Amino acid sequence: MIRKFTFTLLMVLVFGSLSYSQYTASLQTVTASPNENVSVNLSVSNFSSIGSFQFYIQVDPAVLTFQNVTNFQTGIGNLTVSPAGSSTITVIWTNTIPHTWVNGTLLTLNFKYNGLSSAIAFTPAYCEVVRLVGSTPVPLTGTFTDGAISPFMGNAAHANIDAVVSPLGTVAVPLKYTGFPTTVGAMTQKIAYDATKLTFISVTGTGTLASGLNFSASAGIVTITRTSTTGIDINYPASQLNLNFSYTNLAATNVNFSTGCVISTNTAANIAVTYYNGSVSPPPVITSYASMPAITTAVQGQMVDVPLTFSGMPSGTSNFNVNLTYDNPRMSFIGIFNPMFPITSSVNGNNISILYTNVAAPAINGQFLVLRFMYNGIGTANVNFANGCQFSNGSPVGVGYTNGSVSPAPATVNANIGFVSGSSPSSVAIPVTFSSIPAGTNIGAITLNVGFDASKLTYVNATNPFNATIQLVGSVLNIAWSTTTPTALNGIPFITLNFNYAASGNSTALITFKDGCQLASLANPYPIIPANWINGGVNTLFKLSGTLTYDVPSNVPLNNVTIFIKNGPEPVPPATTPIPSTLYTTTTDALGYFEMNLPNGTYYVYAGSTIAWGGVDGGDVTQVRRQIAGLPNGIDGSPLRLRSADVSQDGFIDGTDVTALRRRIANLTPNPNYKAPEWFFDNPVVIINGVELPNQNFKGLCSGDVNGTSPF
């Protein structure tokens, strides 16, 4: 506490009958950009015949770093000022000879601005101004106007944290930069998050921000740094940062820029930046659903109907806007059929928009309409809900969306492009064969569209025993053949494609079936025969290996468990589709080890266990309750254990899960809210890109065993 001058206090006792006069003191309100120097004027009025003054000013030291005082009006004697870096600033002047200052700026306080907002505030109880009347000191009463500093929002350069709505699992929060010069040399970004609601995982980047990052997290602050001596372009969409979190507590929370953010050019010039904060929140409570099914019976060249179904829509739902996208040319859109009520629709490329308005607001639950497509193949075609979908009954309706998919019917026939090894440069022969054609089935027509990597392969000719027509269009071979004579094609090369192979380091050259491939039976009217279309190429197989263990510290191996390699991620509850296709399988050994050889591509690793469910008891119920209450618990932010806790599979961890888990432990039936499978497994994504991928380890856990006590 700063003392007032002792002699003044004594004189007040003696001269208490003297009248007091009024002065004013005000601090400036300013804006600035982080890492800038900022000046704040202290202005006064009625400063005549002053013998001493003392001002006591407080700032947030994280926001403003005090440097010095300048522009002091001409006066007798010197100021006594707090040292640089002080968070509480005292400015004192005293002299035995009175001095008069004109109304206006008395002095200027100089700071380094670190970002965010701060009051710049007087503490009136410790401020004092004394006038000398002759030799008598007379304390003046004053009125004070505080100042403040806040971010300047008009800069060309923007840093934006997105507002993200995300269910359980990894929450990726994009951080985007726009309007920056292309010569960014150094950046320090500090982002604050609520550690009671989010657990920090990592920072990843794209474009020029994909490498060179350093990051750490402490006390709810993520610090990211990157340096370039030559300068880089960090502007979105070419570049982006992702802040990766998982939920500690499934609740909405802010993700904000903190103090200390600095971005400069490669010549160390500060770039003035406007910062926009973001947030993370779970999806709204969903009681209504719009869904499309996963259709697995499509046949190439035939029509397929995809119904759009609503459930749980509240009464009074009077309008909606549904936007869809579909895979084209894998499917061709034909039209909308059998709408429950009149709609307006439009098609633009592979986008379908459906508008519905009905002031009478009849019930719309059930199959509302049918989308009809021609399935051209090959592989799975997706029909997805796109941005902009909304429903209203006078207020917005929270809706969960389940995407649809169209997959070919289960097939026994295989169409195979061969896998061969080669050393560059060399000639390679790639056979195309058909296998598992049912006895008595004759192929009457074949259409193949075969694409190849033209940067590594040059098409030469084909060994063509059946005299198919071959046309080369760019890097695609269009192959057509038909016959009226029964011909045996099972297990023999239908055609062999000859290429010159030239690739640095003998790298992979893919040869793939493209959409539009078809096999047709000779039987009239030449029906399409479903087939599995299996790609090949040169040097295309690479080993994927790892170990599957139970989610306990001792990592108990899970043996004799089937490993599935699929083409898409596992649906996140409450969604149950789209269901990805299984591409490859293998089985773990006694040590939980698995391996298989795969071509280049992006895959998702699954597992399926027949080991009996167990390891669940009252301790798990306690941990789920603590998770709901936001108390420390054994789930510890683990995405796998969070999934295991959601036994009702509604995307939330709440009392429904507690009740269902207790009933399961007590063997009480029926138990309709226990919808979880017996086992959960991590669902890692792996990318095969010309090299082996060892140590792709992942874990499994019985549903409900959130503390990982292990049944083994």
pLDDT for res 589: 95
Instruction: State mean pLDDT over 84-98.
Output: 91
Confidence of residue 235 (pLDDT cuts 50, 70, 90): very high
Domain limits, the chain: 6-151, 157-281, 288-408, 413-538, 541-712
Looking at domain 541-712, what is its CATH homologous superfamily?
Answer: Immunoglobulins (2.60.40.10)
Which range is most confident: 201-210, 436-445, 565-574, 580-589?
201-210
| DSSP per-residue string spanning 358-396 | -TT-----EEEEEEEEEE--SS-EEEEE-TT-EEESSSB
Contact 400, 289 (CB under 8 A): yes
Instruction: State mean pLDDT over 508-513.
Output: 92
**Residue 154 reports pLDDT greater than 70:** yes
**Residue 20 reports pLDDT greater than 60:** no
Task: Provide the strand spans (E) within 258-408.
Answer: 262-265, 273-276, 278-281, 288-291, 294-298, 302-311, 319-326, 331-337, 344-348, 351-357, 366-375, 381-385, 390-392, 399-402, 404-408
- Average pLDDT along the chain: 91
Instruction: State mean pLDDT over 518-529.
Output: 81
Compare 224 and 651 and report the one with higher pLDDT.
224
Confidence of residue 17 (pLDDT cuts 50, 70, 90): very low
**Residue 14 reports pLDDT greater than 70:** no
Same fold, 157-281 and 413-538: yes
pLDDT for res 4: 45
Query: pTM to 2 decimals?
Result: 0.46
pLDDT for res 1: 39
**Residue 492 reports pLDDT greater than 60:** yes
Q: In this structure, what token pair is assigned to residue 135? A: 């030799």
**Residue 617 reports pLDDT greater than 60:** yes
**Residue 284 reports pLDDT greater than 90:** no
**Residue 244 reports pLDDT greater than 90:** yes
Phi-psi region of 62 (alpha: psi -120 to 50; beta: other; left: phi over 0): alpha
pLDDT for res 13: 37
Lowest mean pLDDT among 74-78, 228-232, 532-536: 74-78
pLDDT digits (tens, 9 = 90+) for 393-402: 988 788 888 9
Yes or no: is domain 288-408 CATH 2.60.40.680? Answer: yes
pLDDT digits (tens, 9 = 90+) for 170-208: 899 999 999 999 999 999 999 999 999 999 999 999 999
CATH topology of domain 6-151: Immunoglobulin-like (2.60.40)
Cis peptide before 237 (omega within 30 of 0): yes
**Residue 479 reports pLDDT greater than 70:** yes
Confidence of residue 76 (pLDDT cuts 50, 70, 90): low
**Residue 15 reports pLDDT greater than 50:** no
Instruction: State mean pLDDT over 382-392.
Output: 90
Bridge partners (DSSP) of residue 621 are none
Q: Architecture of domain 413-538 in CATH? A: Sandwich (2.60)
pLDDT digits (tens, 9 = 90+) for 537-561: 998 888 999 999 999 888 899 999 9
Distances in whole angstroms, Cα of residue 3 to Cα of each of 7, 128, 213, 359, 659: 11, 10, 50, 74, 64
Contact 13, 70 (CB under 8 A): no
Instruction: State mean pLDDT over 682-695.
Output: 89
Contact 180, 234 (CB under 8 A): yes
Confidence of residue 360 (pLDDT cuts 50, 70, 90): very high
Yes or no: is domain 157-281 CATH 3.50.50.60? Answer: no
Instruction: State mean pLDDT over 154-172.
Output: 90
pLDDT for res 68: 94
pLDDT for res 21: 63
Confidence of residue 11 (pLDDT cuts 50, 70, 90): very low
pLDDT for res 18: 42
**Residue 705 reports pLDDT greater than 90:** yes
